[in-house]
């Protein structure tokens, strides 16, 4: 039996950069520098769903945590995380080692210790002060909406995992 019985959980775009908003993506598909070591060590990879692509598709604008922090979106996140929770519970019950979760710091959804906030609202048009909008975009400490919900769902099952993240702008 060759299986390692080790599992790592990754945010979706670490294995598929195509899900990111245009023009973000510092690699063509898989973030090799992040994943290579785990692949070589025989760790199995579980890919979380991308909440933004599932909810708004690929033509979405870049948004902040303020905009995603909405009841219906939170419910959507819980729904798409349910099948993942079933898998995690199965691995835990079978005594596999889940070595952690890797998110994407800076993301409004998959940030772990850093997310982005700031929103003045309104349409993107000449009447809106776009410079002011950009000024209000700030890095903020704390998790993104999706990872916050994932952590809550794990805690409700008394499953404790180590969360870490790569930097949105530096991951390759």
Per CB under 6 A, does 51 bind ligand SF4?
yes
Q: Which stretch binds ligand SF4 (CB under 6 A): 51-59, 75-83, 87-95, 114-122?
A: 51-59
Beta-ladder partners of 97: 6
Is residue 115 involved in binding ligand SF4 (CB under 6 A)? no
Q: How far apart are CA 141 and CA 138, in angstroms?
A: 10
104 in contact with ligand SF4 (CB under 6 A): yes
Q: How many CB atoms lie within 10 A of CB 47?
A: 14
Segment 6 to 25, residues that bind ligand SF4, using CB under 6 A? 11-13, 19-20
107 binds ligand SF4 (CB under 6 A): yes
- The verdict on 109 binding ligand SF4 (CB under 6 A) reads yes
Residue ranges in 31-50 that form contacts with ligand SF4 under rule CB under 6 A: 50
Contact indicator for 112, 41 with CB cutoff of 8 Å: no
Shorter beta-carbon distance to ligand SF4: residue 24 or 159: 24
Given phi > 0 = left and psi -120 to 50 = alpha, else beta, which region is 6?
beta
Q: Is the dihedral of CA 132, 26, 146, 102 positive or negative?
A: negative
DSSP letter for 15, please: T
Note the residues at the interface with ligand SF4 (CB under 6 A).
Answer: 11-13, 19-20, 50-53, 104, 107, 109-110
């Amino acid at each position: 039996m060759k299986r390692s019985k080790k599992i790592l959980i990754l945010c979706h775009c670490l294995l598929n950069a195509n899900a990111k908003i245009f023009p973000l993506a510092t690699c063509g598909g898989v973030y090799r520098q992040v994943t290579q070591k785990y692949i070589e060590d025989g760790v199995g990879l579980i890919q979380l769903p991308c909440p933004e692509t599932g909810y708004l598709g690929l033509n979405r604008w870049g948004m902040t945590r303020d905009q995603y922090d909405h009841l219906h979106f939170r419910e959507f996140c819980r729904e798409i995380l349910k099948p993942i929770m079933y898998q995690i519970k199965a691995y835990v019950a079978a005594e596999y080692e889940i070595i952690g979760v890797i998110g994407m710091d800076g993301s409004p959804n998959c940030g772990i210790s850093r997310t982005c906030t700031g929103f003045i609202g309104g349409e993107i048009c000449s009447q809106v002060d776009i410079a002011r909008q950009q000024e209000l975009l700030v890095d903020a400490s704390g998790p993104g909406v999706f990872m916050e919900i994932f952590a809550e769902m794990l805690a409700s099952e008394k499953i404790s995992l180590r969360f870490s993240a790569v930097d949105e702008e530096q991951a390759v």
